[in-house]
Structure 1
């Protein structure tokens, strides 16, 4: 498990690996984490991902000095955080991360993606990037094509998580656009349409990121509107 500098006050970003082959049902009891009834018929890998995510969330709360309270699944499938904090959980291919902040004046999002290649990379370029973004990815020299495409996908997922509590509806990849190459660990997305009264077309959102050989990790905190 690793703690990262988030760039925000009273916030932590923690990530770590988990091995599905080592998962057993009794780990819920050993880690003192409740398995929700809604997962009783889920595949073991789904329960393992849930367990890893909640374990990472508890570690984040402890790092913030917050009580380790249960984080149930809400009606919209998003985690319901304790009243004194806000957070977001993500996992992909054996890596799990949690971004949490001890301030109710913020809403947050986090996403981790395995580096895309082959068909997955082409799917991202066709599904998550518009014509202008594909042209930007092709001509920029900041990052290799596969890294920037994966980063763009992850950043849009993070933006969705961060803005969903305000928008209160699902919105697609076409609702945000990358107009300039990322720099110094920051990527800026602009809304391409008005999502609700508080989220207007053209508004920019700066998303932080870190890239390894195998993964892209993005996170965002925005003031509650």
Structure 2
């Protein structure tokens, strides 16, 4: 689900207007952050409705991650007046757990490529990006966003932060707009070094949207072109 919003039009009264709880964690933060939070919850409720589910109070969990109601798994991303919410129905008695991840970013400026690359990718990854993308800074943006999407998908299972350099780009398929990412370290008993994941991307103007739907029991993913 995608929505646009204008943070300049934000007011606290909009929480009541949209029947969304105002969490105490937002009390002391700046208004544009409140606008992002509210827009994300509005998008989430639209997505819940699209799945035939009632709206829900999606509170703030550890490391600011959304706390989803029983029966649904989701992820939210917002950037520069755009918000995306990815939801999937989750059967309560299913042995598998769906873990969506989604991220939206502006392209990294070409002049910042050298400055930022070393914190996002290793030299082999950068060489792979340069081989496959006509503009390496755009390729780096795709990889940056893809690693963010993977983090969001794995965080409920891992429960802690891990680094961009803990994940490696092992393959790039330009025609399918598909990245294969693999772990370079052990994150949990099930998420071990060498586990691989497919993340998909779409470019939108001067930005990139990436997403993954990870299945936590066997590490398969479901993806499709947008």
Residue 93 in 1 paired to residue 80 in 2? yes
Per-residue deviation, 1:111 = 0.6
Q: How does 1:200-219 map to 2 (within 5 A)?
A: 200-219=192-211
Residue 188 in 1 paired to residue 175 in 2? no
* TM-score normalised by length of structure 1: 0.88
Gaps of 5+ in 1: 1-13
**For 2:144, what is the secondary structure of its paired residue?**
helix
Equivalent residue, structure 1, for 2:26: 39
Specify which of 58, 66, 69 is matched with residue 71 of structure 1.
58
Cα RMSD of the aligned pairs, angstroms, is 1.5
* TM-score normalised by length of structure 2: 0.88
Q: How does 1:20-169 map to 2 (within 5 A)?
A: 20-104=7-91, 105-141=97-133, 143-169=134-160
Per-residue deviation, 1:62 = 0.7
Q: Is the 8 A contact 2:132 2:172 kept in 1?
A: yes
Q: Is the 8 A contact 1:15 1:98 kept in 2?
A: yes
How many residue pairs end up in the alignment?
Answer: 211
Q: State the 4+ residue runs in structure 1 displaced beyond 6 angstroms.
A: none
Q: Is the 8 A contact 2:99 2:153 kept in 1?
A: yes
Deviations 1:142-176 (A, max 9, x none): x5222211000000001111111111221100111
Per-residue deviation, 1:106 = 0.7
Deviates more, 1:174-183 or 1:45-54: 174-183
Residue 223 in 1 paired to residue 222 in 2? no
